[in-house]
């Protein structure tokens, strides 16, 4: 199948839905674009979740409950590439907000999402978030970086 003129826009809308879902703590919207065989490599353990486990909203609801207000996310420098029925998007994400214990969060991380066309709609088949770590032997996550 060839690329359609609206493919990039559709994928960018999915990314916007993720931002809206986090802001409003809406697990249904957050996961509404996932494929049944979705694979998640998120910031939280374990290293990877796939299929039914990756689409289980229980962990998302538990994580949402640790935030006092909205979870504000902003995507930066997003690149979307489409080739037939496969596409990917990558960029930097800034997440901020207040945790229920009063901690103010401001975190930059890397994000790559992979998509597959299923009929007339795009679905997320893989999402990978990561923070770099310091290569000084400490193996500390570099959560103090800024774009």
Ranges 4-8, 43-47, 70-74, most confident: 70-74
Q: Which residues touch 47 (CB under 8 Å, ≥6 apart)?
A: 41
| Residue 124 placed within a domain | yes
Predicted pLDDT at 131: 95
| Residue 142 placed within a domain | no
Whichever domain contains 87, its CATH number is 3.10.450.50
**pTM of the predicted structure, to 2 decimals:** 0.92
Query: Would you call 45 exposed, middle or buried from its count of C-beta atoms within 10 A (0-12, 13-18, 19+)?
Result: exposed
Q: Which of 110, 79, 78 is nearest to 94 (CA)?
A: 110
- Average pLDDT, rounded, for the chain: 95
| Residue 1 placed within a domain | no
- What are the pLDDT digits (tens) for 8-54? 999 999 999 999 999 999 999 999 999 999 999 999 889 999 999 99
Predicted pLDDT at 118: 95
Q: What is the mean pLDDT of residues 92-115?
A: 97
The domain tally of the chain equals 1
| Residue 38 placed within a domain | yes
* 1 pLDDT more than 70: no
* pLDDT band for position 105 (cuts 50, 70, 90): very high
Residue-number span of the structural domain to which 18 is assigned: 7-130
């Amino acid at each position: 199948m060839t690329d359609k003129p609206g493919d990039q826009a559709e994928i960018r809308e999915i990314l916007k839905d993720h931002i809206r879902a986090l802001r409003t703590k809406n697990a249904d919207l957050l996961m509404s674009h996932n494929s049944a065989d979705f694979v998640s490599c998120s910031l939280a353990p374990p290293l990877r979740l796939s299929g039914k486990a990756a689409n289980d909203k229980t962990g998302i609801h538990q994580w949402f409950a640790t935030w006092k207000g909205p979870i504000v996310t902003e995507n930066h420098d997003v690149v979307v590439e489409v080739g037939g029925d496969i596409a990917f998007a990558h960029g930097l994400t800034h997440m901020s907000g207040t945790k229920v214990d009063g901690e103010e969060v401001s975190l930059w991380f890397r994000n790559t999402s992979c998509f597959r066309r299923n009929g007339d709609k795009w679905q997320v088949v893989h999402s990978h978030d990561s923070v770099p770590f310091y290569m000084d032997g400490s193996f500390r996550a570099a959560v103090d970086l800024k774009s």
